Amino acid sequence: MANLSIKRIEVINTVDGRNTLREEPGDAHQNRGLVFSSRSEGNFSGWRLNNDETAEFVLGSPDHSVAAQATGSTNNVGVIGFAAYAERRSLFEDFELGATRGGGTYKGVTRGGSLGTGIGDVQSDHVGTTSFMRDGDKPDILVIGYDLREVLVAAGIITPPEPNPFPGTETGYRKYVK
């Protein structure tokens, strides 16, 4: 994830309808997220265990997903969500820049799948704490559906020839290999 803006942002991440930072249902308005500095990069590497560790995301059967274990339901498996809030500016900044506060946007696909996300090995992944005031109550939201390749082909989402987002994959470094 990259924050390309000039302001800090807060990003809430959900997998299978569950907040990845705390053991709770995903809620774009009630959950808190990770704060990313201006022009910075970061990632959501797994289910957050504490400020120093995450447990890897592991794809598997919906019945063995964290969502099924937490709720007894697989209704929301196969969906990854991101909600991003910009940081509130001070009144002085708003006056100086002539800023207006806008509503959020929504992009993505909400198709659930035949995969669920379980919990894997624990890994080191340190975060700290900070304060953050949200600019408004409407985040920008991105939803990504994921599924088995066979299901995507059967649904007509992947059709031959399959699209290649990186057609220029040859780097030119092969000439140095002996």
- Tens of pLDDT, residues 14-27: 999 999 999 999 99
- Report the side by side order of strands in the sheet with 53-60: 46-48, 53-60, 116-124
Can you read off the two tokens belonging to residue 174?
Answer: 């092969």
**Any domain includes 144:** yes
Mean pLDDT of all residues in 114-136: 88
Please state the domain count of the chain: 1
Asked if residue 4 belongs to a domain, the reply is no
* 3 belongs to a structural domain: no
**Domain that includes residue 133, residue range:** 9-176
Main-chain dihedrals φ then ψ at residue 87, nearest 5 degrees: -80, 140
Given a cut of 90, whether residue 40 has pLDDT beyond it is yes
Mean predicted confidence (pLDDT) in 109-118: 67
Residue 130 falls inside a structural domain = yes
Give the start-end residues of each E strand in the chain: 9-15, 18-19, 34-36, 46-48, 53-60, 79-86, 106-108, 116-124, 140-145
- The C-alpha torsion from 144 through 147 and 153 to 156, rounded to 10°, is -40
- Provide the token pair at 85: 């809030």
Per-position DSSP letters for 127-168, written without gaps between them: -------BSSS--EEEEEE---HHHHHHTTSS-SSPP-S-S-
Pair type for strands 79-86 and 46-48: unpaired
Structure confidence at residue 169 as a pLDDT band (50, 70, 90): low
1: in domain:
no
Instruction: Calculate mean pLDDT across residues 118-133.
Output: 89
Residues 134-165 have pLDDT tens digits of: 998 888 888 887 787 788 778 776 666 665 54
Q: What's the whole-model pTM score? A: 0.71
pLDDT one-digit tens code per residue, 49-99: 999 999 999 988 888 899 899 999 888 888 888 999 999 976 555 444 444
Where does the pLDDT of residue 113 fall: very low under 50, low under 70, confident under 90, or very high at 90 and above?
A: low
pLDDT at position 101: 39
Is residue 36 included in any domain, yes or no?
Answer: yes
Question: Pick the residue with more confidence: 176 or 53?
Answer: 53
